[in-house]
Amino acid sequence: MPVIGLGTWQLTKHTADTVLYAIELGYRLIDTSSDYRTQPGIGEAIKKSGIDREKLHITTKVEETDDAYKRMKSNLKELQLDYVDLMLIHRPPLFGAGEELWEGLIRAKEEGLVRDIGVSNYSISLIETLIYKSGEIPAVNQIEWSPFGHSRKMYDYCVEKGIVIQAYSPLTRTRRLNDITLKQIALKYGKSTAQIMIRWSMQYGTVPIPKANQKAHLEEDLRVFDFEINEEDMATLTALNEHYSSLALGRLQYLKAI
């Protein structure tokens, strides 16, 4: 899996052109979902780019109320693809761990419609339930993750199980970009606060998927491979943790059921 990706929630303006530009810049992982309404534009951009399909890593999702197998098929149709690299359960259903959805994804994987299957917004106990019931370990847990909201306990659990954490809203939807500590560290490295957040996520060992509509942002978010945050500054950034969530719900969802 590429070490950084492009988020596409709310990337509904000029989706195809923006994603095409992102692919040209070097983005190889693209995250979407049936409810983002960006799948048709992403499909168009992939076609236009002429890129070898094997070089891309496409993540999409099924909703908690879906028939997972059916949704898988319609996602592929919208994306104009034969397979996706990763399919996630977008969030746990109200009751249970989503066992039925998981069975649908397992079937899709067995039929070669998807390379890997995983979950999103899942707590440790919900992941444990899925594994216990099916014997299948999710490849990924896509969760909110930034210096202001993360969980060592979740990270250690995922490492132990071989689960990759995809870090969503890694820029806190811009809400914490002006934090004073973050700004001081950014100044020291001659980088933007967004670049520091992305680099922090990567160095922590997660795969950030920042979303950007603006070309300048798309470019900036990829310029994170020419510097390294030292150990002391990593610790300072990690200590900003307050289990903050930039989503309306206030606190990180995956911590609720731990």
Ligand X SMILES: NC(=O)c1ccc[n+]([C@@H]2O[C@H](COP(=O)([O-])OP(=O)(O)OC[C@H]3O[C@@H](n4cnc5c(N)ncnc54)[C@H](OP(=O)(O)O)[C@@H]3O)[C@@H](O)[C@H]2O)c1
Catalytic residues: 36
Identified binder of ligand X from the candidate list 68, 212, 224, 240, rule CB under 6 A? 212
The radius of gyration of the chain's CA atoms, rounded to the nearest angstrom, is 18
Q: How many amino acids of this chain bind ligand X (CB under 6 A)? A: 28
Distance in angstroms (rounded) separating the CA atoms of residues 64 and 51: 32
Inter-residue contact 127 to 138 (CB < 8 Å): yes
Helix and strand totals (H; E) in the chain: 10, 8
For helices 215-222 and 15-25, give the axis angle rounded to 10 degrees. Answer: 30
Identified binder of ligand X from the candidate list 74, 220, 234, 236, rule CB under 6 A? 220
| Residue 149 touches ligand X, criterion: CB under 6 A | no
Span 165-194, contacts to ligand X by CB under 6 A: 168-174, 177, 192, 194
Interface mask toward ligand X for 1-40; x: CB under 6 A: ------xxx---------------------x---------
Looking from the CA of 138 toward its CB, the CA atoms found within 13 Å total 31
| Residue 151 touches ligand X, criterion: CB under 6 A | no
In the complex, the smallest distance separating the C-beta of residue 119 from ligand X, rounded to whole angstroms, is 9
Identified binder of ligand X from the candidate list 15, 39, 60, 120, rule CB under 6 A? 120
Q: Is 96 exposed, middle or buried (0-12, 13-18, 19+ CB in 10 A)?
A: middle
Contact residues for ligand X, defined by CB under 6 A: 7-9, 31, 90-91, 120-121, 142, 168-174, 177, 192, 194, 209-214, 217, 220-221
